[in-house]
Chain A
Amino acid sequence: NAGVTQTPKFQVLKTGQSMTLQCAQDMNHNSMYWYRQDPGMGLRLIYYSASEGTTDKGEVPNGYNVSRLNKREFSLRLESAAPSQTSVYFCATSKEDTGTGGQETQYFGPGTRLLVL
């Protein structure tokens, strides 16, 4: 039972390159999230997927796209990387059964450190 896994752990890109960050969970959770963490700013939500087949923008979606491939997997794509996207990216999941109303705990992966030169 691995929980939430993310690949790669670390990546260096040149400006303009593209890449996809992968996230997978074996917790049978309905909802998945992508956050970025920058020094002094906490975590900010990029995109989330409330359930398989749906995605929605979070606080900072510009420059990113996402795909909820199936219930287990949620990927984040940078089409044309910029230095401003240098950050640590976290995937998270939560169960979110009907009627739980927001009290569900979010479980986080170990993160992907991205450096854009």
Chain B
Amino acid sequence: AQSVTQLGSHVSVSEGALVLLRCNYSSSVPPYLFWYVQYPNQGLQLLLKYTTGATLVKGINGFEAEFKKSETSFHLTKPSAHMSDAAEYFCAVRLSGSARQLTFGSGTQLTVLP
């Protein structure tokens, strides 16, 4: 069975500071990995995904994530936080060829302080 752990349900950073949101997965085979963002009272929007190939994945709004198989991690980073980045972020995994289920982490609420 696959599972996803997001360390830290709430993260606060100052505007302009580095954003680091942590995601670890457990899976017997390398999965497909996704980061979604949810702004207040909205649905989820894809930030980026890892399928195959380059392990450093660039997404929208300046975010990127690195797939590290040895650490079973897919942490999300952004060099300089902006006030508009305040939202909830979800990491999700899906096994290749499996049933259609995405397994989501519990989410990390990002607050950006002025």
Contacts and interface: CB of A to CB of B under 8 A. Distances in A.
Interface string A12-52: 00000000000000000001010000001111110010100
A96 interface: yes
B21 to A, nearest CB: 14
B101 interface: yes
Interface residues of A, number: 28
Given A90-B44, A103-B49, A42 B104 contact: yes
B46 interface: yes
B42 interface: yes
Nearest to A40: B106
A106 B51 CA distance: 14
B42 A110 contact: yes
B90 interface: yes
A33 B100 contact: yes
Interface string B34-71: 10100001111110010110000000000000000000
Of A50, A92, A102, A111, the most chain B CB neighbours within 10 A belong to A102
A109 B45 CA distance: 9
A59 B42 CA distance: 23
B44 A108 contact: yes
Given A102-B94, A103-B32, A103-B51, A45 B101 contact: yes
A41 B106 contact: yes
Nearest to A109: B43
Contacts of A41: 106
Contacts of A110: 41-43
A101 B43 contact: no
A103 B96 contact: yes
5 contacts: A31-B100, A92-B44, A94-B100, A108-B43, A110-B43
Interface of A: 4, 31, 33, 40-45, 48, 50, 56, 58-59, 90, 92, 94, 96, 101-103, 105-111
Question: When A and B form their complex, which 8 residue pairs have the shortest distance between CB atoms, in order from nearest?
Answer: A42-B104, A108-B43, A103-B51, A108-B44, A43-B104, A42-B106, A102-B96, A101-B96
